[in-house]
Every structure is written in C-alpha cells, then in structure tokens.
C-alpha cells in the first residue's frame, strides 16, 4: 500500500486519468473529490463489497434446504 500525505486542495493523480483532491478536512473525516472518466466505477469499499457479494450470489446461488 502506498501512503501519501496531502493537505487541503492538494491532489494525487492515478494513471493520468484519475485525480483525487482533498476537498475538506474536519476532525477525523476527510472529504475527497474524484475526477475520473465516466467508464470508471467509483464506490466506497463497503458498497463495493455489497455489489461483489450480490454478483457472487447471482452467479452461484446458495443451496436451499
């Protein structure tokens, strides 16, 4: 894992097409702005995991007793 330090209004660039900017820092919360191409999906981790679980359940349904 790469760990970077950024201040408010500073950014990082990923693969020349994704820019993540620190918009606000308030207490223990950081607000990020993300600029990316429309074909790039962006989700919070917990939402991404739910989507992945739904896909897995659709592909391999659980056996019912």
pTM value is 0.77
Predicted confidence band at 62 (pLDDT cuts at 50, 70, 90)?
Answer: low
Q: How many domains does the chain have?
A: 1
Q: Please report whether residue 4 resides in a domain.
A: no
Three-point CA angle 23, 20, 9, nearest 5°? 35
Q: Please report whether residue 3 resides in a domain.
A: no
Q: Please report whether residue 27 resides in a domain.
A: yes
Query: What are the tens digits of pLDDT across the range 15-46?
Result: 999 999 999 999 999 999 999 999 999 999 99
The range of the structural domain enclosing residue 37 comes to: 11-59
Q: Please report whether residue 6 resides in a domain.
A: no
Q: Please report whether residue 65 resides in a domain.
A: no
């Amino acid at each position: 894992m790469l760990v970077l330090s950024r201040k408010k209004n500073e950014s990082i660039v990923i693969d020349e097409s994704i820019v993540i900017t620190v918009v606000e820092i308030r207490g223990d919360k950081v607000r990020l702005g993300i600029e990316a191409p429309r074909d790039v999906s962006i989700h919070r981790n917990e939402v991404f995991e739910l989507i992945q679980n739904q896909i897995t359940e659709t592909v391999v349904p659980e056996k019912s007793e």
